[in-house]
Amino acid sequence: MSSDNKRVIRKRLDTLRRRSSPVENHLIDEYAAGKISRRDFIRRGTIVGMSLPFLGIVVAACGDDDGGTATTAAGITTTTTAASGEPTTIRAAFIVPARALDPVTISDEGGLATLGQTGQYLTWSDKDLNLIPVLAESWEPNADFTEWTFKLRQGVMYNDGSEVKAADVVASVEGVLPGNAASAAQTFNIAPGGTVAVDDYTVRFMLDGPNGSFPFFTSSDNYNAAILPAAWWQGYAEGNYEQTFPGTGPWVNESFEQGIGAVYAKNPNYWGNNGNQADRLEVTFYGDEAAAITAFQEGRIDVIPHISFFGGQALIDDDNAVKQSIGSAQHRQVHLATDVEPFADARVRQAMALMLNRQALVDGLLGGFGSVGNDHPFWVNYPTYNPDATAQREQDLAAAQGLLDAAGLGDGFEVTLHGLTEVEMPDLGALMKGFAGQLNGVVLNLQFDDAGTYYDQYWLDSPIGITNYGHRGVPDVFLGAPLRSDGTWNAAHFQNADYDALNDAYVAAPDLETQRQIAGQIQQLLHDETPMIVPYFVDFISVHQGNFAGLEVTAMGHVNLVNAVLTG
């Protein structure tokens, strides 16, 4: 870039800074001073509501103009592909929804992917952990992060022809709070009555306490945050979403059959850029991966947006199947009940963590499609992860035995490990049983059940258990519900006032540097107390046919096929 162009950009930046909030100017100062990276600056800027063009001006003014990923207003990365001009149908295989599609109760990946073809969010959490405007065009906090004001995109229509208004946002947020969104609402400090329509296109969220990451509550990170018409909410009954599939998305539902599949047509009135979009989308639901793999190999399916290494190895080893994977904060949590013997003693919990060969687990169970964990939920790619807080735990059987000896359990103990009969989790349990068997007298009995049985009977009431936690763009949900003394998902029964205070400080932290400092303290505390073992984080794998292009997924399980095309 020439010096003249840089002077023009800096002059424009000066003008923009005079209209910027103290929060935005502080972030610019941190980036200009080299305290945070370009990637972290862009990500944090999107969270506090700075637009991508504004962020680009700052990056260019600071001399870092190496470009980046172009993202549309709809929150989708544009894929340039050759279109044939002929009517096209995309055939996709989704995991079967676990229950009736319902914005209040949805909590599973299959349901999320299906509802997401018609429903959309205020914001989109992309694969790089940035927040992208969708139904909201901008947002900003007040000075202490206790209020967030969102401006809606005007002229966006639902598929019934009505326009998206602030009253719809209020009705949607208030409607989902009693359901599965309750844990997220607790994490992000939003309570019933806290969402207010300022005018037709402005919504204000008044929080119970400061929260620097609140926009993620409004995003695709929140299973239950799709915006639906206020009139629909007035007649809400559980399960009635499947009757009309209201929404603002690029697809209009033509048919839906529980457990079988769904058919969608291109939405001719879609507000976003859908120039490459196929004419139809046919979704087939599969209860197990083997059936989806067979359909793919027989040419009846174009794309499987999510497949596990454990169940999908036949395709992962198939040179004719195109694979893509993205890193993910999805992880398995092994809770250790801190109020139940033998795990009431932190030394026993630490011994359990030291018995694992984590790299062997990643290589053997995930085929290398993952990364080792260190017994806290801070994924290494989170900007707030503190790499200097604790050393990576390695297998050390001698140290583990020494801790058991010191705790008076040198001759061992016997306990039942509970878990889910999903993907590789039973095999993780079997390997943990083998590792434990290398310690004197330690016996892990295994009981793995379907999701209904596990969550109803054993998740929150077992001495040790394995639970799957899906991806999130920020770790706030992982830090709140499973670990706080009042957490609704606290399977470890962890009661620690120091942790609660650190969690409060982390949530309220105004800048990345402070968050990272507090994160380091949390990492250390969880390392010392070990209420949970996080053995690894799991990559998100997709497969598609060679003539298919244009898939976008998030590690949470969202599937965006607006740019999907068949090239031959």
Alpha carbon 69 to chain centroid, angstroms: 20
22: confidence class by pLDDT, cuts 50, 70, 90: low
Contacts of 508-511 with C-beta under 8 Å, sequence gap 24+, read: 508/145, 508/209, 508/210, 508/211, 508/212, 509/212, 510/23, 510/26, 510/145, 510/212, 511/26, 511/27, 511/30, 511/44, 511/212
Say which DSSP state 1 is in.
Answer: -
> ω into residue 342 within 30 of 0, thus cis?
yes
The identity of residue 275, as a single letter, is G
pLDDT reported for residue 66: 46
Number of Cβ within 10 Å of residue 254's Cβ equals: 13
Token readout for 427 is 């095999």
Residue 319 lies in a domain: no
Residue 100 lies in a domain: no
- Please check whether residues 21 and 139 belong to one and the same domain: no
pLDDT reported for residue 76: 36
Between these two residues, 157 and 84, which has the higher pLDDT value? 157
- Please check whether residues 168 and 53 belong to one and the same domain: no
Section 157-165 average pLDDT: 93
- Please check whether residues 49 and 146 belong to one and the same domain: no
Number of Cβ within 10 Å of residue 369's Cβ equals: 21
pLDDT reported for residue 494: 98
- Please check whether residues 129 and 11 belong to one and the same domain: no
- Please check whether residues 57 and 126 belong to one and the same domain: no
pLDDT reported for residue 73: 38
510, 504 Cβ separation under 8 angstroms: no
Token readout for 426 is 């039973």
Token readout for 6 is 């840089």
Section 319-338 average pLDDT: 95
288: confidence class by pLDDT, cuts 50, 70, 90: confident
Residue 90 lies in a domain: no
3-state SS, 177-189, equals CCCCCHHHHHHCC
311, 423 Cβ separation under 8 angstroms: yes
Task: Give whichever of 66-75, 100-109, 375-384 has the largest mean pLDDT.
Answer: 375-384
Q: Calculate the alpha carbon distances from 152 to 155, 161, 216, 479 in Å.
A: 9, 17, 16, 30
Residue 98 lies in a domain: no
Q: Can you spell out the DSSP letters for 227-245? A: ---HHHHHT--TTTHHHH-
Write b or e for each residue in 332-357: b if 16 or more Cβ atoms lie within 10 A of its Cβ, otherwise e. bbbbbbbeeebbebbbbbbbbbbbbb
CA-wise closest residue to 64 among 23, 6, 129, 20: 6
The DSSP element (H or E) to which 126 belongs, if any, is: none
Residue 565 lies in a domain: no
Report pLDDT digits (tens) over 243-286: 999 999 999 999 999 999 999 999 988 998 766 789 999 999 99
Residue 296 lies in a domain: no
- Please check whether residues 123 and 31 belong to one and the same domain: no
pLDDT reported for residue 365: 94
What share of the chain has pLDDT > 90, as a percent?
66
Say which DSSP state 391 is in.
Answer: P
Section 320-329 average pLDDT: 93
Between these two residues, 356 and 509, which has the higher pLDDT value? 356
As for how many domains the chain has, the answer is 3
Report pLDDT digits (tens) over 204-241: 999 999 998 999 999 998 889 999 999 999 999 988 89
- Please check whether residues 25 and 144 belong to one and the same domain: no
- Please check whether residues 339 and 237 belong to one and the same domain: no
Residue 93 lies in a domain: no
Q: Calculate the alpha carbon distances from 358 to 379, 439, 506 in Å.
A: 15, 17, 28
Residue 49 has pLDDT above 90, yes or no: no
Backbone angles phi, psi at 154, to 5 degrees: -90, 150
The dihedral formed by the CA atoms of 179, 147, 377 and 365, expressed in degrees to the nearest 10:
60
What share of the chain has pLDDT > 70, as a percent?
89
Lowest mean pLDDT among 69-73, 397-401, 406-410, 421-425: 69-73
| Distance of alpha carbon 222 from alpha carbon 477, whole angstroms | 10
Mean per-residue pLDDT of the chain: 88
Domain CATH for 459: 3.10.105.10
- Three-class DSSP category at 482: coil
99, 90 Cβ separation under 8 angstroms: no
CA-wise closest residue to 472 among 55, 183, 238: 183
- Please check whether residues 495 and 347 belong to one and the same domain: yes
Helix 309-316 to helix 289-297 angle (10° resolution) is 10
Domain that holds residue 484: 331-538
- Please check whether residues 349 and 461 belong to one and the same domain: yes
- Please check whether residues 50 and 130 belong to one and the same domain: no
Residue 562 lies in a domain: no
The identity of residue 235, as a single letter, is G
Report pLDDT digits (tens) over 422-471: 889 999 999 999 999 999 999 999 999 988 899 899 999 999 999 999 89
Domain CATH for 216: 3.90.76.10
Residue 194 has pLDDT above 80, yes or no: yes
- Three-class DSSP category at 148: strand
Section 123-141 average pLDDT: 91
pLDDT reported for residue 358: 96
CA-wise closest residue to 303 among 62, 542, 526, 511: 542
Residue 45 has pLDDT above 90, yes or no: no
Strand order in the sheet with 195-199: 136-141, 147-152, 202-206, 195-199
In DSSP terms, which residues pair with 536 in a beta bridge?
372
- Please check whether residues 353 and 500 belong to one and the same domain: yes
Q: Which of 45, 61, 77 is the last residue of a domain?
A: 61
Report pLDDT digits (tens) over 344-389: 999 999 999 999 999 999 999 999 999 999 999 999 999 999 999 9
* Distance from the first to the final alpha carbon of the chain: 41
Residue 410 burial class via C-beta count within 10 angstroms: exposed 0-12, middle 13-18, buried 19 and up = middle
